[in-house]
Amino acid sequence: MTIALSLHGVEKRFGDVVALDNVNVSLHEGEVLGLIGQNGSGKSSLMKIMSGLYRPDGGEVRVGGKVVQLRSPLDAGRAGIGLVHQEQSLIGSLSVAENLFLDKPAAYARWGSYRWTAMKDEARRQLEKVELDIDPFTPLGDLSFGERQMVELAKVLTLEELVDGHLVILFDEPTAVLNPPEIEALFSQIRRIKHRSSVVFVSHRMDEILDISDRVLVMSDGRNVAEREKDKVNVDELYELMVGKQRIDRVARRPRDAHLGSSRVLEVENMSVPGEVHDVSFSMAPGEILGVIGVQGSGAESVLRTIFGMADRWSGSIRFDGKPLEIDAPSAAVARGIGYLPAERKTEGMVRNTSVSENAAITFGWQHAAGPGMVSRRREKAPIKDWVAKLAIKTPSIEHQIDLLSGGNQQKVVLSKWLLGNSLKLLMLDHPTRGLDPGARADLFAAIRELADKGLAILLVGDTLDEVLSLSDEIIVMKDGMISAHIAQVQQSPPSEEELVRAMV
Amino acid sequence: MSSLSILSSPISRERLRRFVPFFVLVVTLIVLFNAAPGLMRWRAINSLMMDNAPMLLLIIGSTLPILIGCLDLSVAAMASLAAVSGALLSPMLGSFAGLAVVAGASLIGALQGYLIGRMQIPSFVMTLGALGIFNGAALALTGANMVGIGSGMWLFDSLAGRNFGISNMFLLVLAVVICLQVMLRFTRMGRNIYAFGSSELAVYVSGIRRDLVRSVAFGISAGCGALAGLMMLSQTQFANATIADGMLLPALVGVVVGGTAISGGVGSVVASLIGGIIAVLLRVGVTISSMPPSSQDIVFGVVILVAVALTTDRQKIGVVK
């Protein structure tokens, strides 16, 4: 078998952080290579080097046996390498067709203006490849996540016409925001393009990796540590290679033994948000973990954001801690003792370009100061270091810039800002484990359980059924803005996954 | 630990960058004093600082909106308006006119900050509008005439005086710098201001009142602008509606030369003081090099472009708009 793309002794450093350390990978023609590893193990850096977004500090990249310098994604494209982005790189206000040819300006333009008809026809041909039957002039923002992911793929697959010879298509966690039918559609596309492409596929879901890959490569601490043929490995072994034996045991389900009283910390009655939530009522006891699940657009996120004071218009009533909750901004929610971990970590969670400690102290740091209205960075240090240790946040120091940490560690820092104070009574978590590796997820689960044991009520919108099932005391299933099922005593008599899925769709 | 250490990052290049304004200051001083040794004298320095105290104050005030990632284009117009208001009010209120003007200006500034959020108007549009309003109001108040203050008013006389051999105006500038630096470093509001400049949305979702942060930043810049206007009034005993108009560009130059990032979240008022002194010395340099006064603005224009190019870390913000 010939080698399509290979990396030899590749290194990448950011300041004193080593992202990649002597990485050697070779990708055969027509092969699907699964790439797994914890957050911060170097998967994304590796993909970025292969696609020309980063330039290696050492080592070499070969395409078809020849050493190449990939200076930009454009260079990579010429060499037949395309990256399907993890965080979608498309522009919402442009049409699907314009997005497809955005990085190929010469193709459908004359004298700097688009030839719309030619572009539309070509766009339709490209969309047919991924079996997407939509008008090419639809604004991209009108599409669902799954459709957008397919447009991403179609955009990369335009390389099929533009480049002769073999292609390399890189997928950086494409399934993180897709639902099962969309994932199946994506996989059938990957199988289709195998005849003239090699594929590198990153995912945190082991069953998916085993389903689609021919070979699996495991990364850890910036090195490639193991390689397994698909037929000679199982899910458990992959987990073990990735995170080590000890941490898996912590992920294993442990029944919660919560003694919940009849007192209520949160009572939501007839909450409606126009177009998103319809007549939702539920209540929570202190120390309870309430899991909410539903497909994209079910309204679960809206419920959380409304309680946190972020909804413009809504009706119904909320009682919190014995008194009505009448608020119009998150600041008022926080003043009452409510915290919220947003799903959009990068825009709503992290204060970017600042240190870990500034992020951890942003909300409740003042509680450790000497006087009202003041802050003391000296007095904050001990509690921050405490939480960094408890949540197992991997950072060189608490003065380290948060942007330089891996996604999982960033998420833990964002969580820590709610834990630094002592006035919190309700913590709402919106997809807290999105994009986190199994190790970081286990750490986060342990922390959530411990907080609930101490009496904090936790309202959780989960990413997977498994995580909601293993954490919650009660589960609410939402569908089209309404509650379609309410399951009590989850730990004592767990519902089956089928039962939950039936209520979701 | 330096007062800037809250911005510490592991990258030493970043640390170096912070000392660039300081090096520039030292180099400017050496060049200037070689060209004109007479400037080395204490009296010359003192009068230079007194003459330029209003400008330094404008620079310091403008820093706060920039720290939160906004821009206040109305500070100089506010200074003009404050100068004429102070002159017109002083017959009635005496020295209290100064207090009333600064308080009123701060409230107007705070209102601007509040409206930016409430009406979703970009800050440079809001303050450009305010610039026009302040200019028009100042003209209407004076009828396009000079207005003067009588002598023997405690406030204006003591501003023109000196203590410990240093001009009171410059002492006042230092006091403002110290107060604001303490606020930025040791209070919740200070922390929120820096965080706001880095990620406004994250600050909102962290439960911090956005409108309050904006109001404080713009209130301080307008208050400093008004104080600068009163200083100019006490220097000349007269004011007209355009007294501070030419100071907007030098004020912004001072802020960015000091190293405060125009994108927000990085910088300090101490940095702006250093940047302001550089801007003052630049002006002196232009004068003694017998360049025509008309080229001053050209020099400031070039300096602002170079300073922004040098102090902006494009890797950090990713895009430039």
Contact B10 A401 (CB under 8 A): yes
What integer pLDDT is reported at residue A44 of this predicted model?
Answer: 83
Instruction: Give the model's pLDDT for residue B313.
Output: 53
Least confident of A311-325, A446-460, B306-320: B306-320
For A417, which residue in chain B has the nearest alpha carbon? Answer: B206
Q: How confident is the model at residue B78 (pLDDT cuts 50, 70, 90)?
A: very high
The confidence score (pLDDT) of residue A87 equals 60
Q: Which residues contact A300 (CB under 8 A, 6 or more apart)?
A: A292, A293, A294, A461, A478
For the beta carbon of residue B145, count every other beta carbon within 10 angstroms: 12
Q: What is the pLDDT of residues B218-242, one digit of tens each?
A: 999 999 999 999 999 998 888 888 8
Using the predicted structure, report yes or no on whether residue A169 has a pLDDT greater than 70. Answer: yes
A345 at interface of B, judged by CB pairs closer than 8 A? no
Please tell me the distance from the alpha carbon of residue A15 to that of residue A2, in angstroms, as a whole number. Answer: 36
How far apart are alpha carbons A352 and B200 in whole angstroms? 10
Spatial distance between the Cα atoms of A125 and A147, rounded to a whole number of angstroms: 16
State mean pLDDT over A257-282.
Answer: 88
Which chain A residues are closer than 8 Å to B3 by Cβ?
none
Work out whether strand A315-320 and strand A197-202 pair parallel, antiparallel, or are unpaired. Answer: unpaired
CA dist., res. A132 & res. A250, Å (int)? 42
Averaged pLDDT, B194-212: 94
Quick check: B69 contacting A, CB < 8 Å?
no
The C-alpha atoms of residue A425 and residue A406 are separated, in whole angstroms, by 29
Contact B8 A342 (CB under 8 A): no
Bridge partner list, A172: A202
Q: What is the β-pairing status of strands A167-172 and A81-84?
A: parallel
Query: In chain A, which residue's Cα lies nearest the Cα of B8?
Result: A399
Q: Are B85 and B141 in contact (CB under 8 A)?
A: yes
Chain A residues lying within 8 Å of B266, measured CB to CB = 353
- Please, are residues A152 and A92 in contact by the beta-carbon 8 Å criterion? no
Mean pLDDT across chain A: 86
Of A335, A352, A399, the CB nearest to B198: A352
pLDDT at residue B291 is higher than 90: no
Predicted model pTM: 0.76
CA distance A354 to A352: 5
Contacts of A335 in chain B (CB under 8 A): 207
Query: The tokens of A240 are what?
Result: 């073990």
pLDDT at B312: 58
User: CA of A358, closest CA in chain B: separation in Å?
Assistant: 8
Query: In angstroms, rounded to a whole number, what is the distance separating the alpha carbons of residues A242 and A34?
Result: 13
In three-state secondary structure terms, B177 is helix
Which pLDDT value is given to residue B1? 37
Instruction: Answer yes or no: is pLDDT of A251 > 50.
Output: no
A348: DSSP letter: I
Structural element, H or E, at residue A167: strand A167-172
Tell me the β-bridge partners of A63: A5, A66
Angle at A244 between CA A239 and CA A246, to 5 degrees: 110
Q: Is A408's pLDDT higher than 90?
A: no
Residues across chain B:
321
The percentage of chain B sitting over the pLDDT mark of 70, rounded to a whole number, equals 90
Closest alpha carbon within chain A to B10: A400
Examine the pLDDT at A21 and tell me if it is beyond 70.
Answer: yes
Q: Which of A349, A358, A363 sits opposite B207 (nearest CB)?
A: A363
Residue B76 — pLDDT band, cuts 50, 70, 90?
Answer: very high
Q: How far is B198 from chain A (nearest CA, A)?
A: 6
* Cβ contact, residue pair B191, A358, below 8 Å: yes
Q: Does B208 touch chain A (CB under 8 A)?
A: yes
Residue B17 has pLDDT above 80, yes or no: no
Mean pLDDT of A127-143: 85
Percentage with pLDDT > 90 across chain A: 36
A482: pLDDT strictly greater than 70:
yes
Burial class (CB in 10 A: 0-12, 13-18, 19+), A454: exposed
B179/A contact by beta carbon, under 8 A: no
State residue B316's pLDDT score.
47
Looking at the complex, does the CB of residue A399 fall below 8 Å from at least one CB of chain B?
yes
Q: What is the pLDDT of residue B314?
A: 45
Nearest residue on chain A to B189, judged by CA atoms?
Answer: A373
Q: Which of B6, B199, B314, B316 to mutate to test the interface with A (most CBs of A within 10 A)?
A: B199
Q: A193 to each of A67, A99, A130, A163, A167, how far by Cα in Å?
A: 25, 21, 10, 14, 9
Give the residue from A375, A380, A427 with the most B CB atoms within 10 Å of its CB, the best one to mutate: A375
Q: Which residue has the tokens 């923002």?
A: A141
* pLDDT recorded at residue B26: 84
ipTM exceeding the 0.85 mark: no
CB contact under 8 A, B195 and A352: no
- Give the residues across from A114 on adjacent strands: A109
All residues of chain B having their beta carbon less than 8 Å from the beta carbon of residue A417 are 206
What's the whole-number mean pLDDT along residues B87-99? 88
Contact criterion met (CB < 8 Å) for A340 and B205: yes
Helix (H, G, I), strand (E, B) or coil at A165: coil
> CA of B190 to nearest chain A CA: how many angstroms apart?
9
Residue A352 pLDDT more than 70? yes
Interchain proximity B202–A366, CB inside 8 Å: no
Contact with chain A for residue B266, Cβ under 8 A: yes
The reply to whether residue B9 touches residue A376, judged by beta carbons under 8 angstroms, is: no
Report residue B317's pLDDT band, with 50, 70 and 90 as the boundaries.
Answer: very low
Query: What DSSP designation does A388 have?
Result: H
What pLDDT is recorded for position B16?
62
pLDDT of residue A443: 83
**pLDDT (tens digit, 9 = 90+) per residue, B293-315?**
777 778 777 877 777 777 655 44
B1/A contact by beta carbon, under 8 A: no
Q: A330 vs B207: CB contact, 8 Å cut-off? A: yes
DSSP string, B221-259: HHHHHHHHHHHHHHHHSEE-TTTTGGGHHHHHHHHHHTT
A300 vs A462: CA distance, rounded Å = 10
Judged by a CB distance cut-off of 8 A, whether residue A401 touches chain B is yes
Contacts of B191 in chain A (CB under 8 A): 358, 361-362, 365, 375
Closest chain B residue to A403 measured between Cα atoms? B316
Chain-chain contact of B186 with A374 (C-beta, under 8 angstroms): yes
Lowest-pLDDT range of A30-44, A270-284, B277-291? B277-291
Are A375 and B188 within 8 A, CB to CB?
yes
Chain B residues touching residue A339 (CB < 8 angstroms) = 207
Whole-number pLDDT of residue A314: 93
Across B93-115, average pLDDT: 94
**Residue A313 pLDDT > 80, yes or no?**
yes
Residues of B in contact with A348 (CB under 8 A): 201-202, 204-205
Contact B316 A374 (CB under 8 A): no
Residue A252 is predicted with a pLDDT of 45
Does the pLDDT value for residue A412 go beyond 80? yes
The phi and psi torsions of A10 (rounded to 5 degrees) equal: -75, 135
Provide the pLDDT for residue B2: 40
Interface membership of A492 toward B (CB under 8 Å)? no
* Position A475 pLDDT exceeds 70: yes
* Average pLDDT score over residue span A316-331: 93
Residues B238-249 have pLDDT tens digits of 888 889 988 898
Chain B interface includes A330 (CB < 8 A): yes
What is the overall mean pLDDT for chain B?
85
CA angle A389, A394, A397 (to 5 degrees): 80
What separation, in Å, do the N-terminal and C-terminal C-alpha atoms of chain B show?
A: 34
- According to DSSP, the β-strands at A3-14 and A17-28 are antiparallel
Instruction: Indicate the pLDDT class of residue A468, thresholds 50, 70 and 90.
Output: confident
Which of A225-239, A311-325, B9-23, B152-166 is most confident? A311-325
